Amino acid sequence: MVKRSSINLADGRELIYFDESDDQVRATVDQRHLPPRPAPSQLRLDPLTQEWIAVADNRQGRPNLPPTSECPLCPSTPGHFTEIPADGYDVVVFENRFPSFSYATDNAAFGEVDGYPRTRPGVGRCEVVCFTPEHDSSFGSLSEARVGTVLDALTHRTAELSDLPGVEQVFCFENRGVEIGVTLHHPHGQVYAYPYVTPRTSLYLRAARQHQETTGRNLYADVLAAERATGERVIAENAYWTAFVPAAARWPYEIHIAPHRKVADLTELSDVERQAAASLWLGAVRALDGLFGQPMPYIAAWHQAPVRTDRELGYLHLQIFSIRRAPAKLKYLAGSESAMGAFVNDIAPEAAASALRASWQAVTPEAVVQAD
């Protein structure tokens, strides 16, 4: 059972400890003198795409790859006070000091301002999720029990953030590697509570709605069933989840991990389903790291249904993908991808699945791995 303890940091931001034992007492006070929290960002509507763009100039001041001695995510020490006041932790979540969305000031006016550009306040919330106090560790080095604690934390935050006024979608993710663009080396993830449904999710929902109107079935459920039936791109599975490379993967190495039961978001999983997810999540990250014998840059993204609309069309799944296509080569999003959104994948998904199966078996021999 995970114990939760909430405190406020020196500037009023919330921090929550998720402890794996109930004997922890979290009474440490944040001793820093911090400036006032920044005003919320401004959202501007792009009339050409009908997408909201957040203008958050406060983020220019965030740390950029500081040395270990100045890491803001390590536990505090007498000579170095950080974002975590305690001298140790299991998993901790706190409001981002440099958020893309926030409720930092009076946000009574939620409405849009007409004209050009159309604008609205960037209300919402951005949180940082620290997986471990060990600065030089990684997600793949965590124990399965710790990944379970991370999932408990993400589930709790999804439930809490979904209840905030104006929040339309909750997104849990990890960026890993300087190649991806991380600004802090310490192992951590993030949670974004968006004030709108994101463009990618809107595309998914549009396709899912059309499929349901045509067939009466859920689109992602049908994709998962087709992948499991052929088995060609399935990498690993257990009683509750399947990991596979999608047939139309955009990225050189891309893995979807999906539950066998349709749920809208993390809050709808049972305890046993969450634990089974921890096993495959950890296995996938370790398989990626083992692929070329070096740390793999990746993004791990939990796709959840919107908070208030179209929840019946959604299907919770984890997407993990890397831009590394060979030991010394990256997949750059150049003209076709960046300007046109038209992806070209350099590696056949079937070849990627075969390589990932072999790597997964090597790093996690006990896993149930689909045969070639």
pLDDT tens track for 325-352: 999 999 999 999 999 999 999 999 999 9
The mean pLDDT value for 154-168 works out to 97
On whether both 359 and 230 belong to a single domain, the answer is: yes
Do residue 325 and residue 181 come from a single domain? no
* Domain termination residue (choose one: 196, 220, 255): 196
Calculate ∠ Cα 258-260-265, nearest 5°. 60
Statement: residue 193 has pLDDT above 50: yes
Whether residues 236 and 129 fall in one domain: no
Are the CB atoms for 296 and 324 separated by under 8 Å? Answer: yes
**Structure tokens belonging to residue 151:** 């999932």
Q: How confident is the model at residue 247 (pLDDT cuts 50, 70, 90)?
A: very high
Domain boundary among 155, 176, 196: 196
Same domain, 160 and 307: no
Asked if 369 and 360 touch (Cβ cutoff 8 Å), the reply is yes
Q: Which of 79, 92, 85, 62 is nearest to 10 (CA)?
A: 85
**According to the model, what pLDDT value does residue 14 have?**
97
Residues 191 and 96 in one domain: yes
Name the helix (H) or strand (E) containing 7.
strand 3-8
User: In this structure, are 121 and 223 located in the same domain?
Assistant: no
pLDDT higher than 90, residue 106 = no
Q: Please state the pTM of the whole predicted model.
A: 0.95
Structural domain boundaries enclosing 230: 200-369
321: CATH: 3.30.428.10
Tokens of 159: 């439930």
Q: Residue 205 pLDDT > 60, yes or no? A: yes
Structure tokens at 306: 């919107």
Tell me: do 224 and 178 sit in the same domain.
Answer: no
Strands of the 298-303 sheet, one edge to the other: 3-8, 14-19, 91-95, 125-130, 188-194, 169-176, 298-303, 317-322, 253-259, 241-244, 234-237, 368-369
- Token reading at 96: 């981002």
Distance, in Å, from the CA atom of 30 to the CA atom of 10, rounded to the nearest integer, reads 6
pLDDT single digits (tens) 276-331: 999 999 999 999 999 999 999 999 999 999 999 999 999 999 999 999 999 999 99
| One domain for residues 205 and 189 | no
Determine the average pLDDT of the residues in 152-177.
97
Question: 49 and 103 share a domain?
Answer: yes
Candidates 186, 188, 256, 317; catalytic one = 188
Q: What is the pLDDT of residue 202?
A: 98
pLDDT value at 183 more than 60: yes
Q: What is the pLDDT of residues 71-102, one digit of tens each?
A: 999 999 998 999 999 999 999 999 999 999 99
The predicted-structure confidence for 119-141, as pLDDT tens digits, reads as follows 999 999 999 999 999 999 999 99
Shared domain check, 227 and 191: no
**Mean pLDDT of all residues belonging to the chain:** 94
Q: What total of structural domains would you count in the chain?
A: 2
Q: Which of 196, 211, 232 is the last residue of a domain?
A: 196
Place of tokens 């590697």: 177
Same domain? For 248 and 358 the reply is yes
Same domain, 104 and 213: no
188 is catalytic: yes
